[in-house]
Each structure stands twice: as structure tokens, then as C-alpha cells.
Amino acid sequence: MIAAAFWIGCAAPLAAQDFATLKGHGGPIMDIAVAPDGTVASASFDNAVGLWSGSEPDWLEGHDAAVAAVAYLEPGVVLSGGDDFALWLWEGGTGTRLGAHKGKILDIATNPDGKTIATASWDGTIGLWEVDRQAASGSWKAARKDLTDHESGVNAVAFSEDGNRLYSASSDGTVRVWEDDGSTSRVLVSNGFAVTRVVVNETEGWLAYGAVDGVTRLVDVTSGAEIADFTLERRPILALAYHDASRQLAVGDGEGFIMIVDTDARRIVRDFRAAREGPVWALAFSPDGQTIYAGGLDDVVFAWPVALLDRFEPGIVGARSFLRDAETMPNGERQFMRKCSICHALEPGPSRKAGPTLHGVFGRRAGTVPGYRYSETLDGSDIVWSDATIDALFDIGPDHYIPGSKMPMQIIAGDEDRADLIAFLRSATKKE
């Protein structure tokens, strides 16, 4: 096996046999998109999008929560959506908030016409956005209508090659196909369990989908009849990526594997354990199809040469603090690791985590860490962090204690657990 000692940093463009890592995010990698020129866009739990044309990224920051989906509208124009329900468009480092759903945005698809965007949201709708760059100002405008036939959250969307049809996958267990303007739809697949990802190739006559029960199938794009079943004993399916020229379909699952399917031969050609712990959330091929980019619980985008996958050890370590053996930690540290560590550092100075550092938190007024972009709720807040205010925060939850803040809902129900957390924070965050 090729061991970790031989891994190299990223330099673009990648040679066909290179392994690379893109390091800099402060949270897990949720989605990846690759432009025709090889520029990589990565979406992260740290609320940011990274644009990588070399080893140092440009950061696109505007979201108020984790970024779950990223796509290219055209070269140099990036779209992102996330847990703050918002869709952003980025060009030249400048972001425009196009609008928002009433639930998380889980996927973004772009029509080949370059003017239409589809967003999949957990509010149960698909947003169909018509975007236009204003000639006079160069700014972007968007008009949206919602497609509402699904009975539960929408997880994935994909346009046909000619842009005349849209396919959508939902937690209601179906894949739907929408004709033309989206005024009508029909059920193509009824899986029974939530369908998480979808890829379509109308030219070749198939649609691929993955689901929470581990199902991975190719079906006839017109009738929905099964063509091939690649289901293994791993679940859920969390990522699909397709490279048309090489006919490769990549499948990422909740147990850390990347499966490569030859869609012409209808067979699995590689089955690679990419993560020692945790899922593979994000997959994308390089423009030439020779490299697969992947992301999971680590704060790193990994790039493996597809032809050599079987020679590598798992790269995604997945050793996040909240996955450590509970028996190895005192209760206060355990509470911090499970509830706080993914968003907050204990060390001084800036970090790329989604939340501000907790170093020196006791006695500090909320919303005052230099350089961190707070929500309006906390910017100028009168709350001073103390035993009492931290206890109240986790007793009733941030959504009630500080309505409108970026903090996700976290409740620690036990009085003793909250007291142990506070004692740990007292020790771990005090200034020297």
C-alpha cells in the first residue's frame, strides 16, 4: 500500500498519478465541484466555500451556517447553498445572495442553458431560479418559482443534457422527472426509502440513484425499469459523481467507501475504503476523469488517482473529537467534544471553525471576538459569558436563549452534565 508518508500537498493541475490534499477548512467537507479548468470548489461545515487553483484557497464567506452544496454556473461563477437556507452566487470573490428557501439546501444543479438553476431543499420544494447578469451594472438578479410535488424534503436534483427535463430525488422515496418549465412531473422511481442522490445520462438511456437503505441502481430513464443493481451491504449512499467521457460513476457511502462503476460494462471496477471512520459526503471527478476528489469528516479535500485507488490506505481519518471513545474522557470534556468541538476551538487566535474560539470565554461579552463575523443577534449583545449564562444556553438551547444566532440547536438536559461542561471550560479556556 502507498502510505501516508508519501502524500503530497496540492499543486494544480494535478498529474494523473498524483495524490493530493487541499487543507485549510475548519470543518468537514460537505460537497465538491470541479470547473473545466480544474479549479476545485469545496463546501464545508465551517460556513465557507474554498476555491482551489493551487495549494492556497480563496475563501468565499457569506453563509450563516454550514455550506452543504456547491456548483459551477459557468467558469468563474460559483453557486453555494446550505443550512442557512440561502443560495449564493460568487464571481470574482464577490457574493450575491440570490434568495432563500424555508429549509436547508442540499443540492444545486445548473441547466446547460447557463441561465437556470435548480435547488433541492428540505422544505419539500425545488427552487427553479432564472438568473441574469445585468448588462449595465454587471450584478446578478434571480427570479424563482417553487416545484412542490414531492411529499417530503428534496435531497438531489439533476438536469438532462439538453436541459429540457429536471430529475429530483426526495426523502419521500421517489425520483421524479419534470418536463420543460416544471409545470408537471411524474414519478419515475418509487424506492420505499429516502433517495439521496441522482445522476442522469439520457443519451445513454439511464438514471443512477442512491438511497438511505444502501440501494445503488441504474434504471431506464424513460420507464424507470431496473437496468443494473450495484447495491452492497453499506448504507446510506451519500454521494454520486459521474464522468461522461470515461463512463465512470463514483458512489460514496456512510461507511467510508468509494465505489467506481463502469456504466458501459455495468460492473463495479473499484471498491476503495477512503475513510477509516465516518462517511464520504462529497465526490467529484477531475476534468479528465483520472482523479477523484472526496470529502468527509476531515477538514481536508482528498484527491486520489482513480487508476491507483486500490494501492492506497484510507486517507480520511475521521478522527473528530466527538467520535473518540467516551470512556477515555472525563464527563465535562466528553460534553464539550460531542456538543461544541466541531464548531469551536479552545486555543487563542483565529481558526476556520464555524464558531469563534472559546479561549478566554469567561467574563467576555458575547459577540466580541475580533475578526469573527457574528449574526446581528450577537453583534452588540449584552450577554456576558459566565457559569450562569453558559448553563442557561445549554439548558434551553441556543435557539431559545439567543434566537436568531448562528448556533445550532444543542441542549444538555442533565444539570450535572452542564456543570461538568462548565468546569471543563473553566480549565480549558483560561488565559495564561
Predicted pLDDT at 15: 52
Domain assignment present for residue 389? The answer is yes
Predicted pLDDT at 14: 53
Q: Of 124, 41, 54, nearest to 89 (Cα)?
A: 41
Domain assignment present for residue 316? The answer is no
Same domain for 301 and 330, yes or no, is no
Same domain for 274 and 357, yes or no, is no
Domain assignment present for residue 176? The answer is yes
**Cβ distance 182 to 193 under 8 Å?**
no
Same domain for 56 and 116, yes or no, is yes
φ/ψ of residue 420, rounded to 5: -65, -40
Same domain for 139 and 171, yes or no, is yes
Non-local CB neighbours of 415 within 8 Å, separated by 6+ positions: none
Last residue of one domain, picked from the residues 275, 291, 311: 311
| pLDDT < 50: residue spans in the chain | 1-13
Domain assignment present for residue 64? The answer is yes
pTM of the model: 0.89
Same domain for 359 and 304, yes or no, is no
Q: Of 57, 10, 51, 5, nearest to 32 (Cα)?
A: 51
Predicted pLDDT at 323: 66
Q: What CATH number corresponds to the domain at position 327?
A: 1.10.760.10
Number of structural domains (the chain) is 2
Same domain for 139 and 100, yes or no, is yes
Same domain for 98 and 27, yes or no, is yes
Same domain for 275 and 253, yes or no, is yes
Predicted pLDDT at 17: 58
Domain assignment present for residue 251? The answer is yes
Same domain for 97 and 161, yes or no, is yes
Q: Of 221, 240, 210, nearest to 109 (Cα)?
A: 240
Same domain for 326 and 282, yes or no, is no
Long-range contacts of 342-347 (CB under 8 A, 24+ apart): 342/27, 342/28, 342/45, 343/27, 343/407, 343/408, 346/428, 346/429
Domain assignment present for residue 42? The answer is yes
Amino acid in the structure at residue 223 = S
Same domain for 307 and 328, yes or no, is no
Domain that holds residue 254: 4-311
Same domain for 146 and 267, yes or no, is yes
Q: What CATH number corresponds to the domain at position 97?
A: 2.130.10.10
Domain assignment present for residue 388? The answer is yes
